[in-house]
Chain A
Amino acid sequence: MPDPVPVSLTTKDFKSDQEVRWCPGCGDYAILAAVQSFMPELGIPRERTVFVSGIGCAARFPYYLNTYGMHSIHGRAPAIATGLSTTRPDLSVWVVSGDGDALSIGGNHLIHALRRNVNLTILMFNNRIYGLTKGQYSPTSELGKITKSTPAGSADSPFNPLSLALGAEATFVARTIDSDRKHLQSVLRAAAEHHGSAFVEIYQNCNIFNDEAFEPLKNPATRDDYLIRLEHGSPITFGAQGQWCVIHPPGGFGLEVKETASVDPAEIVTHDAAVAEPAYAFALSRLPDLDLRHTPIGVFRRVERPSYDALVREQVATAKAKANGASQEEQLAAALASGDTWTIG
């Protein structure tokens, strides 16, 4: 991310003149509004912000922001953004993708961008369905999901996107929900401040093809018992009265939910997003049950690691510094004449 410079922009400045064309009630609207109203806070001029997207409903996003933007092709946004981010450190480069775009056709580019730690903020709108193509199951749809292409139920096990990102050793991994603007913006802020690849999964409701997919996380009757709000440095407890907590059972590999009253408070895991070893965040990502019970949201992992683009630019800069005052033309003449040469005439 380029250094903030004093610019005073408002939400309105980030709205483009294009008519927004998602279905009424789509969760994408809430995400767009949250992003538009959050962008001024970053203090980055609009011309230095670029949104690159793939294909899908989510991928229409760049059209609606008055920044630079490219609506590219299905699954390839991380690759395209990598070339841009590597050559243009002065830009703040964002990728917007859907669950199909990022994890199916573009799965390869996603994991490689994450392992390289290219300086990108990747937002994946997960509606657990293919929206734009009208409702086929996606790589995050539940096993047995009945859709147009799986009338007997899908036979594919879904990806856990955060586990995947953590397996690729992403340096910033977070999850948030379309319906919680405050949380969404706090996660975006942390992601934007991160140097390297930031991966943010945003649960997004597709009210046409997969309505209420995240309902238990939103419904006041269930959400307190289903959602785990991660706060860096705080013990992980949840429930309306904090009656649930997360512990690391001795001898086990993962984390477990227990009744707070039943454990020694010292046993409760204190959330630390900076743990170098991805295993901890991975264990957090494995907490939710199939019915979304015990879904952590917030920043799972946030560690520093040199970014690919910075390392590559450093190599170029080091090589350039060896010029010893020779012009590019003089150096080119020397490069052309390298190796064995001879003169005729």
Chain B
Amino acid sequence: MAKQVRQLDRVVIRFAGDSGDGMQLTGDRFTSETAQLGNDISTLPNFPAEIRAPAGTLPGVSSFQVHFADTDILTPGDAPNVLVAMNPAALKANLADLPRGADIIVNTDEFSKRNLAKVGYTASPLTDGSLDGYAVHEVGLTSMTVAALSDHAISKKDAERAKNMFALGLLSWLYSRPYESTLTFLERKFAARPELVAANTAAFKAGWNFGETTEDFSVQYEVAPADLPAGHYRNITGNVALALGIVAAGVRSGLPVFLGAYPITPASDILHELSKHKRFGVTTMQAEDEIAAVGAALGAAYGGALGVTTSSGPGVALKSETISLAVALELPLLIVDVQRAGPSTGMPTKTEQADLQMALYGRHGEAPVAVVAPRSPSDCFDTALEAARIALTYRTPVVLLSDGYLANGSEPWLLPDVASLPDLRVEFADAPNAPNGDGFLPYLRDQETLARPWAIPGTPGLQHRIGGLEKADRTGDISYDPANHDLMVRTRAARIEAIRVPDVEVEDPDGGAQVLVLGWGSTYGPVGAACRALRSRGHAVAQAHLRHLAPLPANLGAVLRRYEKVVVPEVNLGQLAQLVRGRYLVDAISYNQVRGLPFTAAELEGMLEEVVKNA
């Protein structure tokens, strides 16, 4: 039966199931197929903190949302158009996010009395009318998979586990996805067990064929390729992009990279990824704790390496004293904070932007550092390079603030030309620098960057001692002189302010906007999507987004003063807003939400519309 084909401009699908159902993998594969087709994509995984919560329970639900479109998009989508629910828990946990009319594909095999009871359903939602407003497709995913694999010599358990591939095959058919990459993937993944390659491939095809033949799906959809810039692409998560940015910084600086890290969600994947890149001279050390991790990175930086440490809020708090030491030593150091919902253990797998003020001020004494934040998963690559540039050029610790949303989310990345990446080569001190010709002054500064010489151990004639005690200007000798301390404190502040960062750009395509939305970090996507939506409805609104939080771009004050109203949406209680108000005396409107989730474009659109209308 030839089916009707309908064109769509965008679709949001959420795959949801038990932690053991392979939903992350299913989502990844669907994303990859979609990338091959040339759609723009944005993804958002959402998994429980528990590794294997009891099967079939609400805490055990894991999901993966993918948004794909024929235009460029900025977010993983506010609400799914399609929910794939592998069990009652997945349905219950996600139903509230679905708009009426959405498609729900349910695995009816899992809707047993027992499974329903586990999540508190007294009657089956499939029969009690509670799903009346939705287009429900009841599919026996498990039983059909097992039937399709009846002549495969594999265990019943392995056959049942292939149900995610059946679901993927069905969805791939429904949205006309090219599936070659999935078949190659299966061959690679199960290379050691050919029987599983055959079974999973068969399950995928059975799902595809089921779509083609069943009456339940009368329409097949297509989403045309997006008009993206020409080039070579890959899909990338924020954590992998960040790790590759660090590798690239090592290559472009010619320095060995040393990563000291202690595992913590959601930063661990950076450690995992970097540990695969030893051939670039990358050394990764899993330290005994975060203090040792940053200490070892600082020790390596002292010896002339690009020292990096990666963690999340609780771990960065532990590093605080060592970062202050690095401020006093004036050595390059890159500290990555993949923020998560706090305080304390908080919600480890959920996102938040609440470490901004810790990054800026969370140290003893006047201990300024540079702070940068990426705006999207692929931007983590560029931001890591920028952080390394600042650290190496200005000999300072730099905090890079990513977050859980960027870390695990993904988007297509236009691969950069390696030769065009910034040149980060550094010069170590190799000769006495005292004006009278002999002697070495470890705290004699470069007039432009205010950086002191990086004289690494092993350099003959430049032996010197550094430490946390206050140092005399120029000589670096221990000093308790009041005037010297005042000078050094001010100089350390001036060093950060002297860092050259690009002006902040304002996006106001219609011109004449009265309202400016100022964001930082991972809110770029939802803020941008909200602004676009507003503009498409005839409202002018300007958007500015900060990558550099310390120092702030030189033009920021002037930009802020150009607008009647400045709105600062943040996934915290107003940390940037407070900074902007204090520094520029701008009466910024702080808009906040701290639910462990990114903003939805829709809620920002609604909020901004009110502000624009009243401007």
Q: Chain B interface: which of A76-84, A193-201, A204-212, A215-223?
A: A76-84
User: Does A337 lie within 8 Å of B278, measured CB to CB?
Assistant: no
- Neighbour of B303 across the interface among A91, A112, A343, A344, CB < 8 A: A91
Which residues of chain B are within 8 angstroms of A320 by Cβ–Cβ distance? Answer: 278-279, 281
Given contacts A48-B457, A329-B419, A333-B418, contact A87 B279 (CB under 8 A): no
**Per-residue A-contact encoding for B14-36, CB less than 8 Å = 1, 0 else:** 00000000000000000010011
Given A71-B467, A82-B285, A84-B300: A335 and B277 within 8 A (CB)? yes
B233 at the interface (CB under 8 A from A): yes
Of the listed stretches A61-69, A147-155, A280-288, name the one at the interface; the rest are far from the partner chain.
Answer: A61-69
Closest Cβ of chain A to B284, distance in Å, is 9
A70 in the interface (beta carbon within 8 A):
yes
Say yes or no: B279 contacts A86, CB within 8 Å: no
Q: Note all chain B residues with C-beta closer than 8 A to A342.
A: 35-36, 38, 232-234
Majority secondary structure of chain B interface residues (helix, strand, loop or mixed): mixed
Question: Is A328's CB under 8 angstroms from B251's CB?
Answer: yes
Q: Is there a chain B Cβ closer than 8 Å to A191's Cβ? A: no
Question: Is B291 within 8 A of A76, CB to CB?
Answer: yes
Of the residues A76, A88, A332, contact of B418 by C-beta under 8 Å:
A332
- Give 11 A-B pairs besides A83-B302, A337-B415, A344-B231 with Cβ atoms closer than 8 angstroms: A18-B477, A52-B299, A69-B463, A72-B468, A80-B299, A83-B300, A87-B256, A332-B247, A332-B280, A342-B36, A344-B228
Query: From B257, which residue of chain A is reached at the shortest CB distance?
Result: A87
Q: Which chain B residues have a beta carbon within 8 Å of chain A's beta carbons?
A: 32, 35-36, 38, 181, 185, 225, 228-235, 244, 247-248, 251, 256, 258, 260, 277-283, 285, 287-289, 291-293, 295-305, 307, 321-322, 325, 329, 415-416, 418-419, 457-469, 477-478
Contact of B457 (CB < 8 Å), options: A66, A68, A86, A323: A68
Chain A residues, Cβ within 8 Å of B289? 108
Q: How far is the CA of A331 from the CA of B251 in the complex (A)?
A: 10
Interface size on A, residues (CB 8 A): 61
Are the CB atoms of B465 and A87 closer together than 8 Å? no
Q: Is A46 in contact with chain B by the CB < 8 A criterion? A: yes
Given the known interface contacts A72-B325, A337-B234, the answer about A323 and B279 at a Cβ–Cβ threshold of 8 Å is yes
Distance in angstroms between the alpha carbons of A314 and B353 in the assembled complex: 39
10 A-B residue pairs with CB within 8 Å? A62-B467, A69-B465, A71-B467, A83-B285, A83-B299, A88-B457, A340-B235, A341-B234, A344-B228, A344-B233
**A267 close to chain B: CB less than 8 A:** no
Cα A3 to Cα B291 in complex, Å, equals 32
Residues from chain B with a CB closer than 8 A to the CB of A90 are 458
Q: Is A234 an interface residue (CB 8 A)?
A: no
Q: Is A316 touching B463 in the complex (CB atoms < 8 A)?
A: no
The reply to whether A83 and B229 form a contact with Cβ atoms under 8 Å apart is no
Q: Is A157 among interface residues, defined by CB-CB distance under 8 A?
A: no
User: How far apart are the CA atoms of A184 and B417 in the complex, in Å?
Assistant: 58
Measured in the bound complex, the distance between the Cα atoms of B35 and A79 in whole Å is 44
Report chain B residues within 8 Å CB of A16. Answer: 465
Residues in A with CB closer than 8 Å to B463 are 46-47, 66-69
| A268 touches B (CB below 8 Å) | no
CB contact under 8 A between A341 and B415, given known A76-B291, A315-B278 = yes
> A328-B280, A332-B251 are known contacts. Are A83 and B225 too (CB-CB below 8 A)?
no
Closest A-B pairs by Cβ, 10 of them: A345-B230, A71-B467, A83-B299, A83-B296, A79-B295, A319-B278, A79-B292, A80-B299, A83-B300, A68-B457
Q: How far is the CA of A91 from the CA of B305 in the complex (A)?
A: 14
Q: Give every chain A residue within 8 A of B181 (Cβ-Cβ).
A: 340
User: Are A331 and B233 interface neighbours, CB within 8 A?
Assistant: no
Distance between Cα atoms of A173 and B295 in the complex (Å): 24
Q: Is the CB of B279 within 8 A of A82?
A: no
Residues of A within 8 A of B232 (CB): 337, 341-343
Interface centre among B234, B298, B299, B416 (most CB of A within 10 A): B299
**Complex formed: what's the CA distance from A248 to B237 in Å?**
62
Q: Nearest Cβ distance between residue B263 and chain A, in whole angstroms?
A: 15
Residue of B at shortest CB range from A317? B278
Q: With both chains docked as a complex, state the minimum distance between the C-beta of B253 and any C-beta of chain A, in angstroms.
A: 11
CA distance A87 to B250 in the complex (A): 14
Chain B neighbourhood of A88, CB < 8 A: 303-304, 457-458
- In chain B, what residue has the closest Cβ to A330? B418
Shortest CB-to-CB span from A263 to chain B, Å, is 44
Most chain B CB within 10 A, of A67, A71, A112, is at A71
A70 and B415 form a contact (CB under 8 A)? no
B418, A336: Cβ atoms closer than 8 Å: yes
Pick the contact of A80 from B230, B283, B296 — CB < 8 Å?
Answer: B296
B108 to A: closest C-beta gap in Å:
33
B288 contact set on A, CB distance < 8 A: 79, 108-109, 112
Are A76 and B467 touching (Cβ within 8 A)? no
A344 touches B234 (CB 8 A): no
Question: B189 CB to closest chain A CB, in angstroms?
Answer: 13
Contact of A47 among B321, B462, B465 (CB under 8 A): B462
Partner of A316, one of B185, B283, B303, B322: B283
User: Would A329 and B251 be within 8 Å (CB), given that A73-B468, A82-B292, A341-B232 are in contact?
Assistant: yes
Residues in A whose Cβ lies below 8 Å from that of B32: 340
B285 touches A73 (CB 8 A): no
Q: Which residues of B contact A252 (CB under 8 A)?
A: none
Say whether A312 faces chain B, with CB atoms less than 8 Å apart. Answer: yes
Contact at A312–B277, with CB atoms within 8 Å? no
Q: What are the residues of chain A within 8 A of B301 when measuring CB–CB?
A: 83
Contact partner, A344, options B225, B277, B279, Cβ 8 Å: B225
Task: Identify the closest chain A residue to B178 (Cβ).
Answer: A342
* A332 surroundings in chain B (CB, below 8 A): 247-248, 251, 280, 418
A339, B231: Cα distance in complex, Å: 16
Contact A340 B231 (CB under 8 A): no
* Inter-chain contact A62/B465, CB cutoff 8 Å: yes
- Whether A87 contacts B283 by the Cβ 8 Å rule is yes
- Per the bound structure, the CA–CA distance linking A66 and B525 in Å amounts to 55
In chain A, residues 138-183, which have Cβ atoms closer than 8 Å to a Cβ of chain B? none
A14 to B234, CA, bound (A): 56
In the complex, residue of chain A having the shortest beta-carbon distance to the beta carbon of B38: A344
A91 in contact with B36 (CB, 8 Å): no
In whole angstroms, what is the CA distance A137 to B462 when docked? 39
CA distance A71 to B469 in the complex (A): 8
The answer, yes or no, to whether A235 is at the interface (CB within 8 Å) is: no
Chain B residues with Cβ below 8 Å from A86 are 258, 283, 285, 296, 300
Question: Is A45 positioned at the interface, with any CB of B under 8 Å from its CB?
Answer: yes
A-chain residues with CB within 8 Å of residue B303 when the two chains form the complex: 83-84, 87-88, 91
Tell me the minimal C-beta distance from A286 to chain B in angstroms. Answer: 26
B302 in contact with A63 (CB, 8 Å): no
Task: Report the minimum CB–CB distance from B270 to chain A (whole Å).
Answer: 15
Residues of B within 8 A of A82 (CB): 285, 292, 295-296, 299
Taking the nearest CB of chain A, how far is it from the CB of B257, in angstroms? 10
Known: A18-B477, A82-B296, A331-B280. A47 touches B457 (CB 8 A): yes
Q: What distance in Å separates the Cβ of A49 from its nearest Cβ neighbour in chain B? A: 8
